[in-house]
């Protein structure tokens, strides 16, 4: 375990991310813990405390069961690890859909209790009103269109969006409405390249894609996916490591050493002064 770092905190700001529209690609990953945030912070502009934490860390089947308390606890952990990146916390299912007032109360709690700079909400037909209400009251909002994991029970499964004309029009309209309402950037998840490019051209704020092609202003992935923590990864993920294999092999070697009484050896053992001198 490492002690907390002492360097000065100077974070990327919300206006700096908005100013990246059409410029240098925005680099973003999910983070849920302090040590991972500390590692990712050197490489990322934005760290998202995604509600994917429910599936990645807590073993839930989807994100619907994630609570505000879980998001706040993981947000606090990430804020202890990150020093530079903009930290955005996902509003979980049930914490903002009832209306702008509910969204404000819960989003204000997230910012106050974590110190994060912004929240993310998944789009829906009424999201523009909520985004407008939050932004006007000092809460920066990242939008999220396309595949909306929190709508899994309506959709029946996680599936790419924008395959029919009607669905394309709806996703594009939600992105435009989110941007016009004041979202400082928009995550586009699980849509075909042509739709991602159309949205990116249509909105004045940066788009950050996940499974949405190179046609976005930035990219985000679930960190554990790109590090190979799971047996299966979606088509849009490129694996840069095999953590699952590395952990399994390492733990296997340690277990063999314990069973063969090779661990701990002298180097890993404390001795009393008496035993050392005598
Ligand atoms: O929760 C999450 O990790 C997300 C990303 C997939 C963008 O929303």
Across the chain, which has 278 residues, the per-10-residue mean pLDDT values are: 64 98 98 98 98 98 98 98 98 97 98 98 94 98 96 88 91 97 98 97 98 98 98 95 98 98 98 79
pTM: 0.95
Query: Do 91 and 120 touch, CB atoms closer than 8 A?
Result: yes
For residue 52, which atom of ligand 1 is closest to its CA? 1
Rounded to whole angstroms, how far apart are CA atoms 244 and 274? 44
Question: How far is ligand 1, taken at its centre, from the CA of residue 276, in Å?
Answer: 54
- Reported in sequence order, the residue ranges of 3-81 that DSSP labels E, i.e. its strands, are 26-30, 46-49
CA 34 to centroid of chain Cα atoms: 14
Question: How far is ligand 1, taken at its centre, from the CA of residue 105, in Å?
Answer: 22
Neighbouring residues of 63: CB distance < 8 A, sequence distance ≥ 6: 51, 52, 54, 55, 92, 93, 149, 150, 152
pLDDT at site 1: 47
The yes-or-no answer on residue 189 being catalytic is yes
pLDDT at site 262: 98
| Structure token digits, residue 270 | 């404390």
Nearest CA to ligand 1 atom 2: 50
- Select which of 38, 189, 198, 224 is catalytic: 189
Rounded to whole angstroms, how far apart are CA atoms 48 and 32? 8
pLDDT at site 274: 80
Q: Is 132 helix (H, G, I), strand (E, B) or coil?
A: helix
The residue whose CB lies within 8 Å of the most ligand 1 atoms, and thus the one to mutate among 145, 222, 225, is 222
């Amino acid at each position: 375990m490492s002690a907390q770092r002492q360097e000065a905190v100077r974070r990327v700001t919300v206006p700096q991310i908005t100013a990246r529209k059409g410029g240098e690609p925005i680099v973003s990953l999910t983070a849920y813990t302090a040590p991972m945030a500390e590692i990712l912070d050197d490489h990322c502009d934005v760290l998202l405390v995604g509600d994917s934490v429910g599936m990645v860390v807590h073993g839930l089947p989807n994100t619907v069961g994630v609570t505000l308390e879980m998001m706040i606890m993981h947000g606090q952990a990430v804020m202890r690890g990150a020093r530079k990146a903009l930290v955005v916390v996902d509003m979980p299912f049930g914490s903002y859909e009832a209306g702008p007032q509910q969204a404000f109360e819960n989003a204000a709690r997230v910012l106050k209790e974590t110190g994060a700079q912004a929240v993310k909400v998944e789009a829906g037909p009424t999201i523009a009103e909520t985004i407008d209400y939050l932004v006007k009251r000092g809460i920066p909002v990242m939008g999220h269109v396309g595949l909306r994991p929190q709508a899994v029970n309506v959709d029946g499964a996680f599936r790419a969006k924008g395959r029919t004309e009607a669905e394309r029009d709806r996703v594009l309209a939600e992105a435009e409405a989110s941007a016009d309402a004041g979202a400082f950037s928009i995550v586009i998840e699980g849509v075909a390249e042509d739709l991602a490019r159309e949205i990116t051209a249509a909105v004045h704020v940066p788009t950050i894609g996940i499974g949405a092609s190179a046609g976005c202003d930035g990219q985000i992935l679930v960190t554990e996916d790109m590090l190979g923590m799971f047996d299966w990864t979606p088509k849009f993920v490129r694996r840069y490591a095999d953590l699952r294999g590395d952990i399994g092999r390492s733990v296997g070697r340690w277990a063999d050493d314990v069973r063969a009484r090779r661990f701990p050896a002298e180097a890993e053992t404390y001795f009393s002064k008496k035993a050392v001198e005598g």
